A and B are shown apart, each in its own frame.
Chain A
Amino acid sequence: MNPAAVARTAGVVALLAVAAAVPLASNVTLTHVGVFVLMYVGATLAWNIFSGYTGYISLGAAVFFGCGMYTVAIITKHLNLTGGVVFALFPVGAVVAGLVAVPFGLIALRVRRHTFVVVTIAIFFIFQLMASNFSFTGGSAGILPPFLNWDPNTFDEPFYYTALLVAVAAGVLAWLIWGSRFGLQLRAIRDDEDRARGLGVRAMRVKLAAFVISAVIIGFLGGLYFYFQQEALPEFAFNPFFDLTIALMAFIGGFGTLWGPVLGALLLEPYLGYAQLQISNSYLAEVVLGAVFLAVILFLPRGILPTVGEMITKWRAARARRAATPADGHPPEVAAAAGSGATGGGGVR
């Protein structure tokens, strides 16, 4: 292993250690916010596996979140489950979300670019309205879980560790896919879908696979959120703000990069949580949020990770040039590799 890889591994281990230790601080608020942060890390990573890698911007991720949530809600309401067994239901929510993603993807993935974005929004609204219109979803009153007789001081902890597990799993999956042939096909679609098809990529199959994978992860989180939040309401299960938030997190960190979404979620979600809890004037918080986005777009147009990576690469290249030894090998590549290592993840592209 080269030094950069060692540093990277150490960084990841340190980050995980800190994340695992958060509940030990026995600060209920911290753990509570932590659950949200980890959920968004997982969801944004999952979103990025499809939208980031293929360039198809989906604003329909909340469909999977809501399907996972309602699946768990409906099962648990009929069986009246209250113990730790509820955690076993989350995978069921994930499977249902994955099944929903198949027809959703088959319809939506026929169109591209703006039209795809709008189709995902349309399908999202259909689901939200169905949830508030059908009787088996409890209509607009939603579904409440059976009362959980858990200790309020440690209530959040199982959710915290489950969310951490999902976030880590999503990260590992995103990393494995990034380096695989499958990931390469996805990114080929992003660069030029028609040419990728010409080169033998089965575009529809590949896109659909990524779409379903991201749906399964987000569906799992939806199930988790039902018990964490203690209710399933149409407008919170199928929440347009959820779609936008994860997209913004991915964009701010670095759209289509491997670790950008993690950075975006870690930066943005604590602010959102803080704004919700601390700033009594939520409208001001909204204006600040918008202004921050605009600043990021204007000054870091491709997201934090790629832009900072580029700056470091440039800086190192300039330093290498000043050292003036162009004969020994390939300074630009060395600089690029080091630059990406310094920003915490492989391939700043």
Chain B
Amino acid sequence: MGSRLFQALVDGVLGGGVYGLMAVGLTLIFGVLDIINIAQGILVVLGSYLSFVLATHLHINVFLGLLITIPAMFILGIAIQWFFIRPLRGRERTSMSLLASYSVAIIIEGVLYQVFGSNFKQIPTSYFNSTVQVFGYYIPYIYLLGFALAVLFVVAIYLLLYRTQFGRSVRATMQDHTAARLVGIDVNRVAAVTFGIGVAVTAAGGMVYGSINAFNPNSGYDLISRLLAIIILGGMGSIAGALAASVIMITLESMVDVFWNPSWSVVVFYAVLVLVLVFRPQGLFGRREARAQ
């Protein structure tokens, strides 16, 4: 009992940290651009495939490989924003952006299927097989290193947002688009760079995800549904909320996994989301929306 509880907690907290990193990217994009990037899930999978290729074909250490994949994903993010999100204007912008990012997602999915096929892959790393023993429970290194990586990135994003001039303009844009523009912030540039950062973190998230789980191009749907649930629960646009919600939700899921039945854990996951929103429509850490819709 005790060790199973411990196992569930460890899986939840460490796995939650990785989901937290992906969710921070998504919520950051939402906060600045007021759109949901449906492609975030498949971009994580793309990040996994990039790391997979680097690790299997070029035999580059997965952590060193991030030095290549993160800039690549950053540029891809800026390109997606520039070509497909930026041109959207007007009243239907929100719904159109859902559609645009979904289109991007299915294009990436189709390309991934074309290139890699539908067989499940897992990034081969020694960190998955070597373990460290904590209280009689074996934890693969990749869990710990992945969690550390997630913490590192979240701290970096936090410092970027709260300790730099650029971060100040991002936060200003999050608060009020028009006012930010009026005080001379280049809102388009802020939006593009934010989108780039939000997508860049999927490279790291994807690397850890792909080392822990077997994935195929279809995994993007499962990821995006979870990530959406997490950022809604945390309160849209709230970075701390996204982190807290991902740790809470993934821990809850692994608790149900361990103590009840794995086939119900996802039901509980979404049921908790629905239940929380009945009582707190703005999520756990969100501010109430004023005159929305």
Contacts and interface: CB of A to CB of B under 8 A. Distances in A.
A311 interface: no
Contacts of A190: 293
A110 B283 CA distance: 12
A281 to B, nearest CB: 8
Contact of B277 (A110, A126, A192, A193): A110
B152 interface: no
Interface in A295-316: 297-298, 301-302
Interface in A71-117: 107, 110-115, 117
Contacts of A293: 99-100, 102-103, 106
Interface in B89-119: 89-90, 92, 94-96, 98-100, 102-107, 109-111, 113-114
A301 B96 contact: yes
Interface in A180-213: 189-190, 192-194
Contacts of B89: 301
A302 B263 contact: no
B273 to A, nearest CB: 5
7 contacts: A113-B94, A118-B273, A121-B229, A125-B266, A284-B110, A301-B90, A302-B90
Closest 6 CB pairs of A and B: A286-B110, A290-B107, A287-B110, A293-B103, A283-B113, A122-B270
B267 A294 contact: no
A26 B281 CA distance: 54
Contacts of A284: 110, 114
Interface string A238-279: 001000100110010001000000000000000000000000
B291 interface: yes
Interface in B4-23: none
A247 B98 CA distance: 11
A253 to B, nearest CB: 13
B278 interface: yes
A173 interface: no
Contacts of B90: 301-302
A165 interface: no
Contacts of A281: 114
Interface of A: 55, 57, 107, 110-115, 117-119, 121-123, 125-126, 129-130, 132-133, 189-190, 192-194, 240, 244, 247-248, 251, 255, 281, 283-287, 289-291, 293-294, 297-298, 301-302
A290 B263 CA distance: 32
Given A113-B292, A287-B111, A298 B84 contact: yes
A122 B271 CA distance: 8
B88 A255 contact: no
Given A248-B99, A251-B99, A286-B106, A118 B232 contact: yes
B2 interface: no
B4 to A, nearest CB: 22
Nearest to B109: A286
Given A118-B232, A133-B264, A107 B87 contact: no
Contact of B274 (A55, A126, A287, A291): A126
B228 interface: yes
Contacts of A125: 225, 266-267, 270
A72 to B, nearest CB: 24
Contacts of B271: 126
Contacts of B292: 112-113
